[in-house]
Amino acid sequence: EVHVVESGGGSVQAGGSLTLSCIVSGVTLDDFDMGWYRQAPGNDCELVSSISSESPSWYEDSVKGRFTISHTSDDNAKTTVLLQMNSLKAEDTAVYYCAADADREEYDGNCPVGDYWGQGTQVTVSS
Check whether 75 has a pLDDT greater than 90. no
Q: How many CB atoms lie within 10 A of CB 63?
A: 21
Residue 77 identity: A
Give me the pLDDT at residue 76, please: 80
Q: What is the DSSP string of 52-97?
A: -SSS--EE-GGGTTTEEEEEEE-TTS-EEEEEEE-S--GGG-EEEE
Residue range 20-41: average pLDDT? 96
pLDDT confidence of residue 85: 98
